[in-house]
Amino acid sequence: MAKTASPVLVLAGAEAGDLRALEDYRRAGGYASLEQARKLGSERVIAEIKESGIRGRGGAGFPMGQKASFIPAPEKTAKPIYLVVNADESEPGAFKDREIIERVPHRLIEGMQIAALAIQAEACFIYIRGEYLTGSEIFAAALAEAEAAGLVGIPITVHRGAGAYICGEETALLESLEGKRGQPRSKPPFPALVGLYDSPTLINNVETIATVPKIIELGGAAYAKIGVAGSTGTRLFSLSGNVVRGGNYELPHGTTFRELIEDCGGGISEGRKLKAIIPGGSSTPILGADQIDTPMDYASMEKAGSFIGSASVIVIDDRACMVQLALRLTQFYMNESCGKCTPCREGTRWLEMILRKIEEGRASRAELDLLLDVCDRILGNCLCPLGDSNAMIVASYVRHFRAEFEAHVEKGGCPVAATSSLTGVRSPVDELYRGRVGQEAAL
C-alpha cells in the first residue's frame, strides 16, 4: 500500500467485499448523499461539485462542475435534459470503471441520481461497453433493487455497446445511443446544448459520477483538499503490464509512478528492469524509465510530456521492442478508427504500413522521417482525439527510443525479435483486415 494512509472514496466500504446488495451499500452509508442532495437542491449540488474541483475521469479532464453549469435550466429549453454515463471503457490499459460497476454499482446509481437532480434531467442513460456483460448484469440487478426501493426518481436506461472503441468518445456514444453508426460529431455544438436527440446532455465517465456521492458527503471544499492543486481527489489507477501485482489502486492525485509501481504493484515482474511507462492509457505519450518519479496529476504529467488520461498505467519492461509496441498499438487505432474523418482513416493505416515495414527491416531511414511527418500531418487535423492519439504516441515512441527504430533500419530487421515479449503479438482482427484490404498483404 501507499506510504501514507490515503482516503478511499469511490471504492469506500468495498475493501472487504463487494457492495452489490442494496442492504450492504446502505450499511456503508449508501444513498445518504442522495437524501442530502435532495435537500440541497439543484443549484447547491452544482456549487458543491464545482467547489470540489473534480475533473472528468474519462481522459479529457474537463471540470465536471463547469460542464454541468453549461446545461440550460429546464425553463430555458424546450427540450428534455439528459444525463448520460459513459461506461464504454475501452481504452487499452483501463479497467477501473469495470471495478466500480461490478463492486459498487449502487454508488454509481446514487451518483447518477444526484447528478441528474443537479442538472434537472428528465432521464438518465448508461452506455456500457458490450464486452462488460457481467458488469451490465450486475448493474441491472442493482438498478432493479434500487428502483424497487423507490430510490430511482429519475429513470435510468441501460444500453450495451456493440464493440467499438470509438463509442467511448462522447459524441460517437450519443450517435450510437440514438441507434446510428457510432461516429463522432463535429463540435461545437457541444453536448451540453445539443446532445442526445439534440437535447441538452451532461455526459460523464463512470468514475466521475461514482465520486459525486462522496463529494456531497464530504462537501466540495473538503474534497478539494485531497490530492494536489488543480488535480483534486482520488483516482483509480489501473496498473497493468510487466508488474507483479496489477490491479486498480485508489490513490490521491499527486502520487508518483514509483509509489504506484513499486509500493502498490510490487515492482517489475521477474525482477526485470523498467523500460518505459504508458502513463494514462494507450492514447497517452510514453514516458521513459527515468520519469518514474513524476507525480501523477494533470500539471506534472503535462510537464513530463504526456497526460494522465484515464490513469491507466502500463508498465513496460526491458524485453519489449518499442517498434513492435508502436505497431501493435497503431493496429489498434487503425482498426478502431471510425472512418469518418480523412486524416485518421487514411493516416492510421499509413502509419501501420510504415511501422510494419520498419519492424520487418524493409524501411529506409527516410521512411523513419516519413513516419514522423505523417504523425505531424495527422495531429491537430482530426475530428476527434482518436487519430491525434495515434499520431502523438507514435511520435513519442520515436522521440524516446529513436536509436531502437534506427537499429531496425540499419540491421534490416528487429534486433530483439528473438527475445521481445511482443514478437508475434498482433491485433486479433489483423488478418481479417489484411485479407479484406487486399494486395499489400502479399508484400
Partner 1 sequence: MSTPELVTVTIDGRQVQVPKGMGLVEAAAAAGIEIPVFCYEPRLGPAVGACRMCLVEIEGMPKLQTGCSTPVADGMVVHTAQSSEQAARGQSATMEFLLLNHPLDCPVCDKGGECALQDLSFRYGQGKTRMTFHKRSLEKPVPISPTIALDRERCILCYRCTRFSQEVAEDEELTAVNRGALSMISTFENEPYRGPFSGNVTELCPVGALTSTQYRFKARPWEYEQAASVCGLCPVGCNVTVQSREGKVQRVLSRNHPEVDRGWLCDKGRFSYPHLYSEERIVTPRRRGARALEELDWEQALEELAGMVERASGGVVLALSGSETLELAYALAKIVRQGAGSDRVVLPEQTSDALDPFRVPIAALAEAEEIVVFEDCPVLDRAPLLELWLKQARRNGAQVTRIGPSGDIQRAHGEAALACRELAEKGNALGKRLRAAERVILLWSGGGSAGGTHLAALALTLGLNEKKGSGALLLPASPNARGVAEAWAAAGDEDRQPKQIGLLIVSGDEAASDPQVRQLAEHARATVALTLFAGDSGEWADLVLPATSYLEREGTMRNLEGRLQRLRGATGSPVRSELSWLVELAVRLGVALPGSEAALFAELSAQALDGISLSALGERAPLLPHGEARTFEIPEAEEPPILLGGPLELIRYRALFSGPEVEHVPELAFQRPATEIEISPEDADRRGIADGSDVVVRSNGTRVTLRARINAALLPGMVRAAATHTSELARGVEVSRP
Taking CA 141 as the corner, what is the angle to CA 136 and CA 147, rounded to the nearest 5 degrees? 120
Q: Does 436 bind partner 1 (CB under 8 A)?
A: yes
CA 24 to chain centroid, in Å, comes to: 29
C-alpha dist (Å) from residue 226 to 28, 83, 214, 221, 260: 21, 27, 12, 9, 17
Q: Are 351 and 330 in contact (CB under 8 A)?
A: yes
Smallest separation, CB 1 to partner 1 (Å): 40
Closer residue to partner 1 in complex, CB, 403/443:
443
Write the DSSP assignment of 81-109 as a string of letters. Answer: -EEEEEE---STT--HHHHHHHH-HHHHH
Question: Phi/psi of residue 132, each to 5°?
Answer: -85, 60
By CB under 8 A, which span of 94-102, 289-297, 328-336, 408-416 interacts with partner 1? 328-336
With CB under 8 A as the contact rule, the residue among 334, 351, 371, 394 that binds partner 1 is 334
Smallest separation, CB 440 to partner 1 (Å): 5
**Strand locations in 135-232 (E):** 156-160, 201-205, 227-228, 231-232
H/E run at residue 300? helix 298-303
Q: Does 80 bind partner 1 (CB under 8 A)?
A: no
With CB under 8 A as the contact rule, the residue among 47, 289, 353, 407 that binds partner 1 is 353
Q: Does 304 bind partner 1 (CB under 8 A)?
A: no
By CB under 8 A, which span of 55-63, 85-93, 207-215, 345-353 interacts with partner 1? 345-353
With CB under 8 A as the contact rule, the residue among 6, 69, 335, 423 that binds partner 1 is 335
By CB under 8 A, which span of 83-91, 130-138, 240-248, 333-341 interacts with partner 1? 333-341
Output the nine-digit C-alpha cell for 274. Answer: 523498467
CA 250 to chain centroid, in Å, comes to: 15
Closer residue to partner 1 in complex, CB, 17/179:
179
Closer residue to partner 1 in complex, CB, 319/434:
434
Query: Which residues from 159-178 bind partner 1, rule CB under 8 A?
Result: 164, 166
Smallest separation, CB 364 to partner 1 (Å): 10
Smallest separation, CB 335 to partner 1 (Å): 6
Nearest to 237 by CA among 301, 163, 147, 327: 301
Q: Are 404 and 368 in contact (CB under 8 A)?
A: no
Smallest separation, CB 302 to partner 1 (Å): 14
Q: Does 71 bind partner 1 (CB under 8 A)?
A: no
Q: Does 340 bind partner 1 (CB under 8 A)?
A: yes
Q: Is the peptide bond before 105 cis (omega within 30 degrees of 0)?
A: no
Q: Does 439 bind partner 1 (CB under 8 A)?
A: yes
With CB under 8 A as the contact rule, the residue among 6, 267, 350, 421 that binds partner 1 is 350
Query: Which residues from 191-250 bind partner 1, rule CB under 8 A?
Result: none
Whose grid coordinates read 500539471? 299
Smallest separation, CB 394 to partner 1 (Å): 15
Q: Does 343 bind partner 1 (CB under 8 A)?
A: yes
Q: Does 339 bind partner 1 (CB under 8 A)?
A: yes
Nearest to 206 by CA among 128, 312, 133, 91: 128
Q: Does 347 bind partner 1 (CB under 8 A)?
A: yes
Output the nine-digit C-alpha cell for 38. Answer: 435532495
Write the DSSP assignment of 240-254 as a string of letters. Answer: EESBSS-EEEEEETT
DSSP alpha helix (H) spans, 156-233: 170-177, 206-218, 220-224
Q: Does 121 bind partner 1 (CB under 8 A)?
A: no
Smallest separation, CB 305 to partner 1 (Å): 17
Smallest separation, CB 195 to partner 1 (Å): 14
Smallest separation, CB 328 to partner 1 (Å): 16
Q: Does 338 bind partner 1 (CB under 8 A)?
A: yes
C-alpha dist (Å) from residue 7 to 155, 170, 234: 31, 30, 8
Q: Are 125 and 84 in contact (CB under 8 A)?
A: yes
Closer residue to partner 1 in complex, CB, 298/433:
433
Nearest to 247 by CA among 256, 238, 255: 238
Smallest separation, CB 334 to partner 1 (Å): 6
Smallest separation, CB 367 to partner 1 (Å): 8
Query: Which residues from 366-395 bind partner 1, rule CB under 8 A?
Result: 367, 370, 377-378, 380-383
DSSP, collapsed to helix, strand or coil, labels residue 159 as strand
Q: Does 440 bind partner 1 (CB under 8 A)?
A: yes
Q: DSSP assignment, residue 256?
A: B
Whose grid coordinates read 513519442? 396
376 vs 77: CA distance, rounded Å: 42
Give the binding site for partner 1 (CB under 8 A): 164, 166, 181, 185-186, 188, 334-343, 345-350, 353, 367, 370, 377-378, 380-383, 433, 436-440, 443
